Amino acid sequence: MAVIASNCPQHRVVVVDINEARIAAWQSDQLPIYEPGLEELVRRVRNKNLFFSTEISRNIAEADIIFVSVNTPTKTFGQGAGRAADLQYWETTARQILENSDSPKVVVEKSTLPVRTAEAMERILRSNGNGHHFEVVSNPEFLAEGTAIRDMQQPDRVLIGGRETPSGQRAVQAIVDIYSQWVPNERIITTNLWSAELSKLVANAFLAQRISSINAISALCEKTEADVTEVAHAIGMDSRIGAKFLRAGVGFGGSCFKKDILNLVYLCEHYGLQEVAAYWEQVVRMNEYQQARFVSNMISSMFNTVAGKRVAIFGAAFKANTSDTRESPALDVCRALLEEHADVVMTDPHALDMARADLGDLAQQVTFEPDPHQAAKGAHALAILTEWPDFAQLDYQALYKSMVKPAFIFDGRNILQHQKLHAIGFNVYAIGKPPLTNFAK
């Protein structure tokens, strides 16, 4: 919304939320999330044409266009638990829009939703016959965290799906008019509603599939002395495959990939497409395997026990340049190490607060240490779980000195200089590469 406000000074953009603390944070100098470039942008447009408010009813009444971005977590109860999206917040919002509207509105699906949700929303919005017309449009968001501002300023494409009726097309045009203020026309694509809804799930499924594919190959590399970085480079130069999203690692995290694939799986099962469902589900299984494999490798390399050993986890965020720890592999690895009775210390430049909150009761068993040098002190092993560039710049000679010997590094993101670390004295285990150990043969 900050990007829209900055590109469309003629529009007044109001962000509403039931969470008062969050809205207060958006109005303060301490924004509730870390995202490069966001603070500067918000400062520029805040109280000019970007506003934050908890007055939901009034702002619904005044709006012509409503972007609904409420969360759609995976259901944890009842039918479809663990797979289907929980749509209760969406439905509540639709009813709230209906109750507070005394003029026609365009309602934009921004949250990722199961295919054909728009239909259910239309039915709710048209249910009490208050005479006002609501048009539902799907405008899925493709930005990635950490590069959100750039992704929105210069998107590969903007996708807008709507009904093929004259009023549906007018609503689509209203959204096209917003984006065309800064996005070239050839990058704005319009489709029917169902294609737009499905494309979002499919885009995330394809991206995650690439990661699981290269991670599957990383396991094979470790057995065959091939190097996964070299393999990824070699295959990525084929323009049909492409070089991006081929970084092997400890697995994908984030709020989207797992949730959206499971959503896709549920949808396929619902339509009786068992083979299609099983195919996509395997992408998530491979991701779980990669994380489990990482922890097993740590334990077996460290003489089959980590109990009582201090292990420093470098990185809590699910990727670099964000404070977000949702579905972060770092937290899964942390939980697994705690189960093995390791003494876990975690360091991260921006995500420690969220990690503490996400770990819940387990947080009491973890030491949170913002300084990586302190975190490494007295540790048997370092595990790199987020690709923060800072971690590659540390003085590993000094870290090595302060650690218990033999000292181990498990580079779950392949960001360090492994040969150098090996020369310092570390036993180095990277993803999809032969281990570099200093043990006598």
Q: How far apart are CA 191 and CA 327, in angstroms?
A: 31
Burial of 421 (0-12, 13-18, 19+ CB in 10 A): buried
CB of 348 to ligand UDX, least distance (A): 14
Active-site hit among 8, 221, 256, 334: 256
- Contact by Cβ (8 Å): 387, 319: yes
Contacts 24+ apart (CB under 8 A), 15-22: 15/50, 15/51, 15/52, 15/53, 16/52, 16/53, 16/54, 16/55, 16/56, 16/59, 16/60, 17/52, 17/54, 18/54, 18/56, 19/54, 20/54
| Chain residue whose CB lies nearest ligand UDX | 254
Of 145 and 197, nearer to ligand UDX (C-beta) is 145
* DSSP structure class, residue 46: B
Q: 13: which strand partners?
A: 50
Of 56 and 226, nearer to ligand UDX (C-beta) is 226
Measured in whole angstroms, how far is the alpha carbon of residue 282 from the centre of its chain?
Answer: 19
Determine the residue type at 118.
A
CB of 275 to ligand UDX, least distance (A): 26
Q: Which two tokens stand for residue 182?
A: 């800064």
CB of 62 to ligand UDX, least distance (A): 29
* DSSP structure class, residue 321: T
CB of 221 to ligand UDX, least distance (A): 15
Of 196 and 424, nearer to ligand UDX (C-beta) is 196
Of 333 and 379, nearer to ligand UDX (C-beta) is 333
CB of 93 to ligand UDX, least distance (A): 20
CB of 64 to ligand UDX, least distance (A): 26
Of 236 and 425, nearer to ligand UDX (C-beta) is 236
- Contact by Cβ (8 Å): 386, 413: yes
End-to-end CA distance of the chain: 59
Contacts 24+ apart (CB under 8 A), 180-189: 181/7, 181/8, 182/7, 182/153, 183/155, 183/158, 187/155, 187/156, 187/157, 187/158, 188/157, 188/158, 188/160, 189/157, 189/158, 189/159, 189/160
CB of 251 to ligand UDX, least distance (A): 7
Of 135 and 145, nearer to ligand UDX (C-beta) is 145
In the annotation, is 221 catalytic? no
Q: Which two tokens stand for residue 222?
A: 């470790």
Burial of 39 (0-12, 13-18, 19+ CB in 10 A): middle
Radius of gyration, CA atoms only, the chain: 24
- For residue 436, the SS3 value is strand
**Binding residues for ligand UDX (CB under 6 A):** 141-145, 204, 207, 211, 245-247, 249, 252-254, 256-257, 318-319
Of 317 and 379, nearer to ligand UDX (C-beta) is 317
Torsion of CA 16, 18, 22, 28, to 10 degrees: 50
Catalytic residues: 256
